[in-house]
Amino acid sequence: MNIKSYLSPKTRVKKSLIEGRGLFGIRQIKKGELVGIKGGHIIGWKTLQRIRHLIGDSYFQIDDDFVIGPLKSNEVGKIMMFLNHSCNPNIGVRGEITFVAMRDIKAEEELTIDYAMVDNDIYKTKCNCAQKNCRKIIAGKDWQKKTLQKKYRGYFSRYIQDKIDKISVG
């Protein structure tokens, strides 16, 4: 089975000033326009723990017990979205695995996402985005911050939005 993610023909992967490689617009991208769709296998947490050393952080959480991503190291490059974190992102999520522009994006601009829109894991890491509003440290539970819930309304993954809805009602 040949699996891969879809990246808009208006994008290219190249060296990022944030970290490693990043996804960049090569032509203007309009607000709401499709940028990418995450591909991969549906993987349970037990399997993920067994293969994580092979696939790194190339997976994407879609449920408490499941992620979508590669099963083997030779699939990583085909599945990676190359969306680095920024505390001032220009990409958000529509649905579960579809990524769209949150605003008009200029050619040559790096496409970034705030991991708070997609992550529900236990980690803390230093942020490299260098934005004026940088949080300095990003964590896997940042989606719980009310300020971010308000800022990214309409751009959280369905999985994270369901969690927000539960705590808002409960």
- Cβ burial of 144 (10 Å; 0-12, 13-18, 19+) is middle
By percentage, how much of the chain surpasses pLDDT 70? 99
- Kindly state the average pLDDT of the residues 5-22: 96
Q: What angle do CA 94, 119, 165 make, to 5 degrees?
A: 65
Q: What is the pLDDT of residue 170?
A: 58
Task: Indicate if the pLDDT at residue 34 is higher than 80.
Answer: yes
Task: Indicate if the pLDDT at residue 169 is higher than 80.
Answer: no
- Kindly state the average pLDDT of the residues 1-17: 94
Question: What is the rounded distance in angstroms from the CA atom of residue 101 to the CA atom of residue 148?
Answer: 17
Task: Indicate if the pLDDT at residue 63 is higher than 80.
Answer: yes
Q: What is the pLDDT of residue 135?
A: 95
Domain boundaries along the sequence of the chain: 6-169
Q: What is the pLDDT of residue 2?
A: 81
Residue 87 confidence class, pLDDT cut points 50, 70, 90: very high
- Kindly state the average pLDDT of the residues 26-41: 98
Residue 161 confidence class, pLDDT cut points 50, 70, 90: very high
Q: Which CATH architecture has domain 6-169?
A: Beta Complex (2.170)
Residue 155 confidence class, pLDDT cut points 50, 70, 90: very high
Q: What is the pLDDT of residue 65?
A: 93
91-150 tens-digit pLDDT: 999 999 999 999 999 999 999 999 999 999 889 999 999 999 999 999 999 999 999 999
Q: What is the pLDDT of residue 168?
A: 78
